[in-house]
Structure 1
Amino acid sequence: MIFLLFGQLSDRMSEAGSGNSYPILLMLLICIGLTVYAFLKGDENGKFKDLISHVGLLALVWGFLGMMIGLIGAFDAISIANDVSSQVIAGGLKVGLLSPVFGMFAFLIARLGIIILVLKKK
């Protein structure tokens, strides 16, 4: 079951493009690592919490930036073509929405890490 989930995730990431999805994956791993480190070692001055927040927000913005760049390229291709089917447009929109979904997922994981750190502190 887990291998199937990671296989689908890997397929979607390669479909979205390595320039968008792999940096978001790296930011997600950084957020998870910082959360675990801060949970185990402590975060008295809140530096790790702030860093997790910034990296998570960067992942979100990176995903939307990837979507905008992809959509601009898709609309350029559509404007050049004479006859474009609805299947091609739907497929392009699906690929364009993958980057923001990855960014939102990384942002949510970062926020959950911050919530865990805040709950541990109190």
Structure 2
Amino acid sequence: MKLLPMNLLNDGGPLFMYTILITLIICIVLIIKVFIKNDKNEKGLKLIKSVSLFALVWGFLGMMLGLIGAFDAISISSGFSNQILAGGLKIALLSPAFGMLTFLVARIGIIGLILKEK
């Protein structure tokens, strides 16, 4: 049996998926740092928002570039099956899904930090 998470990271496009993984780690570290330091000037919150938004947009950029490449390959081929198309679409959706997960984790952390302030 394959190592599922590592397989998904490679299937979704290593450049995009590993970059999003790094941004997820950065967001988690920043959330912990802001939580411990009790950052009053909100510089940490702004940074978390920016990094999480970058992860979201980066994931969608990966999907767009993947779909453009897939449709180029389909347009030059004489025929293709539905299974190949469905598999390609699944792969194309991995990077935006991971970007959305990173965005949500960061937003949940931001909500927790805001609730801690009050």
TM range (shorter): over 0.9
| 1:74 to 2:73 alignment | no
TM-score normalised to structure 2 length: 0.96
Identity across matched positions, percent: 55
Alignment of 1:45-56 (within 5 A): 45-56=41-52
Runs (4+) off by over 2 Å = none
Q: Give distance in 2, aligned partners of 1:15 and 1:41.
A: 38
Q: Partner amino acid for 2:76?
A: I
Q: Give distance in 2, aligned partners of 1:49 and 1:11.
A: 32
Q: Give distance in 1, aligned partners of 2:9 and 2:65.
A: 16
Corresponding residue of 1:99:
95
1:84 is paired with a residue whose SS is: coil
Q: Give distance in 1, aligned partners of 2:100 and 2:25.
A: 14
2:114 is paired with a residue whose SS is: helix
Q: Partner amino acid for 2:101?
A: F
**Gaps (5+ residues) in structure 1?**
1-6
Corresponding residue of 1:120:
116
Q: Give distance in 2, aligned partners of 1:44 and 1:118.
A: 11
Q: Give distance in 1, aligned partners of 2:45 and 2:4.
A: 31
- The CA RMSD measured in Å over matched residues stands at 0.7
TM-score normalised to structure 1 length: 0.93
1:68 is paired with a residue whose SS is: helix
Q: Give distance in 2, aligned partners of 1:119 and 1:99.
A: 30
Q: Give distance in 2, aligned partners of 1:110 and 1:37.
A: 13
Structure 1 position 43, deviation (Å) = 1.2
**Gaps (5+ residues) in structure 2?**
none
| 1:15 to 2:11 alignment | yes
